[in-house]
Amino acid sequence: MACRISVISRHISSPPLEHLDDLGVRVAPEVRSALSSGVGVVALESTIVSHGMPYPQNFHTAQEVESIVRANGAVPATIAILDGVPCIGLSLAELERLAKLGTMVSKTARRDIPYVIARRGNGATTVSATMFFASKAGIKVFVTGGIGGVHRQGESKLGKTPVAVVCAGVKSILDIPRTLEYLETQGVTVVSYSTDEFPAFFTPNSGCKAPCRADSVEECADIIEANTKLGLGSGILIGVPIPAEHAAAAKNVESAIQSALHEAESRGIAGNSVTPFLLKRVNELTGGDSLAANIQLVKNNALVGAKIATALTTRLSRFTKSS
């Protein structure tokens, strides 16, 4: 039976931003102002910009995602490392630079952060690295496309980073049941948004029942707040199914995935090169349907994530005024 959670709102304070200045992390003025004044902030990864699709489509999509966040009451904070400086929030020029550089930018997971900084390089942050910097800044909501599976890094960081990740579920190119089991062992709260079934990235259905269900952004905000108040120290995964009208045909996607997996194995593609190869190959095999679905699901996640961030800060503001 899906669990439901409701808690009384309590004030959750963000850490002072001076510690980030001391660490050499640059916080964009808009993001700094939002964090200081209690406006909702949504963290966004940058790997999807540099490695997710070609220029200029990646730049236009990134702009649209940031616009959706703003239109729903929150401030976007795209996270990346530029010339060795971790940046929480990018200017339009910086976003376009990242998009133009594309795959020349290092795909940067949490483990790679020291190396990229030491070499004064450019790094596009993955789920794990984005979560790390978001947590450091006190950003509690992070929007992405989908997380990796049991052989990736993103899901393991959910067990020790108190950030809510809003995504379209586990990428359907991976082992979803095993990933959900692994998340359970890591103490990660897994929630499906307005559905009992955990979504599978390109499609709304995975065949896996979600441990918990939330039917509104307010319920999601309650869960995030309860997690923070109790100091569990773990993250929350909120799976938002791609809207049905934008979902690629599940059968065609699954067929393309199996073909791409066999091709990757035969070519000896391994490590963090697997997912980019599979996504690219699946897009080719589906005639562009999977990329179109990817763009739509990220936009939908941004809309839901922004509303969750706004709901969280709204209730905290009300509590502060009444206390």
Residues annotated as part of the active site: 45, 171
d(CA 121, CA 260): 31
CA 131 to chain centre: 8
Interstrand relation of 85-88 and 75-82 (parallel, antiparallel or unpaired): antiparallel
Strand 189-193 and strand 212-214: the pairing is parallel
* Cα(69)–Cα(74) distance, integer angstroms: 6
List, in order, residues 6 or more apart from 305 with CB less than 8 Å away: 42, 69, 74, 141, 142, 143, 166
3-state class (DSSP) for residue 180: helix
Structure tokens at 298: 């990220």
Best CA proximity match to 312, nearest among 12, 43, 72: 12
